[in-house]
Amino acid sequence: MPRILAALSACLLAASANAQTPRLPDADPALFRVADDDTTIWLFGTIHMLDGKSSWFDEAIRDAFDESSELVLETVEPDAATSQQVVLEKAIDLEGPTLSESLPAATMAALSAELSRGGIPLAAVEPMDPWMAALTLVQLQYQRLGLRPESGAEELLKRAAAETGKPVSGLEDFEWQLDLFDTMPEEAQIAFLQEGIEELANAETFIAEMVAAWNAGDMKTLSGLMNEGLQANPDLRRRLLTQRNANWAAWIQDRLETPGTVFVAVGAGHLGGEDSVQAQLKTLGIDTVRVDY
C-alpha cells in the first residue's frame, strides 16, 4: 500500500478504568511543544486507524490535551450526507470511462483480485477515479489487519473534545484535501494505484513496523516508513507533504500571535524528516521542543 497514505492508519482505544480488565500495553508517541510568552501550541502526530491494543492517551499527551482550550485537526469532515456528496462529485465518474477501460490489463486484474479478497464487488469500484480506487485498497488492507478509523487517534481526540466542551477546527477543508488527489493527471493517478497494488505484498509488515514505531515515539523510523514512497515522486511529495507542512507552519506562526493553548493533531509523517512541520517552523525562526515523558 502506498506509504504516503500511512496517514490513513491510526490509533487505539484508551484502557478501561475497570480493575477487572487487564491494562493495555503502554505507548508513548511523540509530542512536541511550540511556545512564546503567552501561547502554547502542542503538536501531536497521529495514525488515522489503529487496533485499540495499546494505551497512548495518557501521561503528557493527556495533560497537554486537558490544558488546551481547543483541538485542531488536519480537517473536520462534514456530516455524512455532505461528505458523500463531495466524494461523489470528486471521485466518481458515471459518464466517463470505467477503470476497466482506463487501466492496463495487468493492473486491472490485480485490482480485481484484491477487491475479491475483500468482498467488494468490482461494479462498486468501476466508476471510481484511479486515486479513489487506490485509497479504497488502503482502507481495505488496514481493516483486514484489524485497524479501524473509529479506533483512530483523531476519533478518540474528537470524542474527548466533545466530552470536555472543547471546540474542534481543521487546518484544511475536506474538499480541498480530496482535490490534492483529484487534480493529479490521470497518468499520475494510475501510477499511484499501481504502486499501491505492488506494495500490498508487504503491507502487513509495513503496518506492524509503522505502529510499533509510533508506539515507541521513534520519529526517524516512522517518518522514513510513511514518506519513503514520496521520494521518487516530487509532485506528489509537494502535494501531500512539503507544501502542506509549510502551510501548517505558517498557521502556527500566525496562531502564536493569539494568547492561549492549542492541541494540534496531524498525521505523524508530517512531524518527522527534513521537510517536517518543525523544519518549516525553524526556517521561520520558531523553535520546537520535543516533550520528554
Please give the Cα distance from 114 to 172 (Å, whole number): 31
Higher pLDDT, 17 or 79: 79
In this predicted structure, the answer to whether residue 1 has a pLDDT above a threshold of 70 is: no
Average pLDDT for the chain? 89
Please, are residues 114 and 140 in contact by the beta-carbon 8 Å criterion?
yes
State how far the Cα of 144 lies from the Cα of 121, in Å rounded to an integer. 16
- Residue 51: its pLDDT value, please? 87
Residue for cell digits 515522486?
A: 233
Which residues are CB-contacts of 284 (< 8 A; sequence separation ≥ 6)?
A: 249, 250, 253
Q: Would you state the pLDDT for residue 82?
A: 96
pLDDT in tens, 197-254: 998 888 899 999 999 999 999 999 999 998 877 877 888 899 999 999 999 999 999 9
Averaged over 140-156, what is the pLDDT? 91
The grid cell for 271 is 512531524
Burial of 277 (0-12, 13-18, 19+ CB in 10 A): buried
Residue, of 254 and 8, whose pLDDT is higher: 254
Q: Taking the domains of the chain in order of start, what are their residue ranges?
A: 3-290
Q: In what order do the strands lie in the sheet with 168-172?
A: 168-172, 70-75, 260-267, 39-46, 31-35, 289-290
The pLDDT value given to residue 22: 53
Please check the confidence at residue 21 and state whether its pLDDT lies above 60.
no
CA distance 250 to 14: 33
- Distance between CA 158 and CA 49 in Å, rounded? 14
Straight-line distance from the first to the last Cα atom of the chain, in angstroms, rounded to the nearest whole number: 32
d(CA 5, CA 135): 8
Give helix 80-91 / helix 130-144 axis angle, nearest 10°: 130
Q: Mind listing the pLDDT tens digit for each residue in 90-108?
A: 999 988 899 999 999 999 9
Distance CA 29, CA 42 (A): 13
Q: Reduce the DSSP state of residue 72 to 3 states and report it.
A: strand
Q: Is the pLDDT of residue 8 over 80?
A: no
Q: Map residue 15 onto helix, strand or coil.
A: coil
The C-alpha cell 480541498 sits at: 176
